[in-house]
Amino acid sequence: MTNREGELRSLPSVDAVLGRLAHLAGRYPRALITDEVRRVLDEAREAIRAGRKPDPGPVEEVVERRLARLASPSLRAVINATGVVLHTNLGRAPLPRFEPLCGYSNLEYDLEEGTRGRRDVHISGLIERLLGKPGIAVNNNAAAVYLVLRELAAGGEVVVSRGELIEIGDGFRIPEIMAESGAVLREVGTTNRTRIEDYRAAINERTRLLLRVHQSNFRITGFTARPSLGELAALGKEAGIPVYEDLGSGCVADLSGYGVDEPLAAASLRAGAAVVSFSGDKLLGGPQAGIIAGEAGLIARIRRNPMYRALRLDKLILQALETTLRSLLMERWDDVPALRMIRESPEALRARAERLVARLQGVKAEIVAGESVIGGGSTPEQSLPTWVIAIAAADVPGLERALRTGDPPVIARIEDNRLLLDLRTVFPEEEPTLLSALAGAMERIRRA
């Protein structure tokens, strides 16, 4: 008998494992326990046959660990101490506080008339007052780009600069989205220089849109040129072709006083763009969404496209977006966490860091100058001055992992063999929890 055959024969039966898990009766459904036992045993057999080690520990312990994970929420709140405000892996913009509506709601019901209503009525008025033009929302900005092109340019050509054919993350590329929409790309200019004459020369009877893509997640510097949005809008008006600008990160509040150089959506519409689109979970500071705004006739057409229904928002996202838009309209900037973080001064951050370090016990830490970033595919090559807490430890990677795997998880970063905590992205009310998490992580490192 080979070693593998011996290992296979040593595996317990399903009934034997179920007998050892009798104490779980009532905690989990019996069918789920049985299914998980079979799954673990099948995986163990497969691993042994392949010459790999099965999950460590007795089968019943492996099953119990997995059942506990299944019973626990996978999506969890974390403390972001990285200093990256729009952290893509941590949900981009932190959501503003709102109380999700449980039970029924007037999602598509007109309470005044007692008749069926439209779900986008809850946000359309806010968008129009913020941007000066009517607007709708879909589930993200990639969907917004697709929907605009599908309705306004399917079967025709869209003129776009080669320097703006970007990848927006996770392998999604503007040319591929455009191709799926049924629109045909008409590339003009070069990677670094495109002139208004290039657009003019490309216009023909099949041209449906002039597209401008804001460089929200990259920069081309040096010997570069491209026409202004005003020039492009003037050409579009002359040729009777609408100009569509994909703004990407989508700035609604003016953040130039805080070192953020991003075009305002309302300014693009005033400059002559017939339609703009941008993300809801970047510089807007809300949930994942794609905002489309512009000339009333074009927005009405886009909303009537059958794909709008497939891409529209659900009630929870609508409520979060409505909350965000209303805070922006009322200029309650601190109610939008991402904007509050961007606007917080280095002096205030240093004072917070000093108070927190003063409460640390048994930790070697100092406060040093640093840089926060906005992140999330926004404002490349732009940073925000900050002060970070730099912690020295014998096992810095181990400390980072202990924080990351704690409860709640704390996400930090490592530089120059020190653990850095940037309070710009830590809510003030999270500071006591951060202190406890750090103390607990240090203790686990000491024990290990």
> How many CA atoms are closer than 13 Å to the CA of 350, on its beta-carbon side?
11
Strands 413-415, 418-422: pairing kind: antiparallel
pTM: 0.90
314 contacts: CB under 8 Å, gap ≥ 6 = none
Q: Kindly report the number of other CB atoms within 10 A of residue 255's CB atom.
A: 19
By the 10 Å C-beta count (0-12 exposed, 13-18 middle, 19+ buried), 162 is classed as: middle
What pLDDT score was predicted for residue 189?
Answer: 84
Q: Which of 294, 308, 296, 179 is nearest to 245 (CA)?
A: 294
Q: Which of 167, 160, 210 is nearest to 190 (CA)?
A: 160
Question: How would DSSP label each residue in 350-391?
Answer: HHHHHHHHHH--S-EEEEEEEEEE--TT-STT-EEEEEEEEE
Q: For domain 109-332, give its CATH number from 2.40.50.100, 3.40.640.10, 1.50.10.10, 1.10.10.1100.
A: 3.40.640.10
Class of CATH domain 79-90+340-447: alpha beta
pLDDT tens, residue by residue, 111-155: 999 999 999 999 999 999 999 999 999 999 999 999 999 999 999
Structure tokens at 32: 């789920």
151 contacts: CB under 8 Å, gap ≥ 6 = 301, 302, 304, 305
pLDDT in tens, the chain (448 residues): 577 788 888 899 999 999 999 999 999 999 999 999 999 999 999 999 988 888 888 999 999 999 999 999 999 999 999 999 999 999 999 999 999 999 999 999 999 999 999 999 999 999 999 999 999 999 999 999 999 999 999 999 999 998 887 766 666 677 788 788 999 989 998 878 889 999 999 999 999 999 999 875 555 665 577 889 999 999 999 999 999 999 988 899 999 888 888 899 999 999 999 999 999 999 999 999 999 999 999 999 999 999 999 999 999 999 999 999 999 999 999 999 999 999 999 999 999 999 999 999 888 999 999 999 998 656 566 789 999 999 999 899 999 999 999 999 999 999 999 999 999 999 999 999 999 999 999 988 888 7
Residue spans of the domains in the chain: they are 3-70, 79-90+340-447, 109-332
Proportion of the chain above pLDDT 70, given as a percent: 95
